[in-house]
Amino acid sequence: PNNGLVIYCGTIVTEDGKEKKVNIDFEPFKAINTSLYLCDNKFHTEALQALLADDSRFGFIIMDGNGALFGTLQGNSREVITKFSVDLPKKHGRGGQ
């Protein structure tokens, strides 16, 4: 999926004390850039909570002698908007006779 995939799988104890297997999978509403595989006694939701907390989007430009890159950063997901390269002439010394 474009935004990643969230999978929760495990065994929970119901209110009447019985064990029940649970499988939950969905595509998050924003891109998620975290990979986590744990065998634990709880479902870890920190990465999903970060998606809800961080709505600020920042733009950035990276330039060097070979070109430039324009992109955005929101939370821990980044998106490259455009990238281009240039072929500039190199410095040369003075000609002499």
- The pTM for the full model equals 0.51
> What pLDDT is stored for residue 29 in this prediction?
86
> What pLDDT is stored for residue 16 in this prediction?
93
Domain 1-53 has CATH 2.40.50.100: no
CA atoms within 13 A on the CB side of 15: 0
Q: Looking at the chain, which residues constitute the CATH 3.30.960.10 domain(s)?
A: 1-53
Residue ranges of the chain with per-residue pLDDT less than 50: none
Strand duo 67-74 + 57-64: pairing: antiparallel
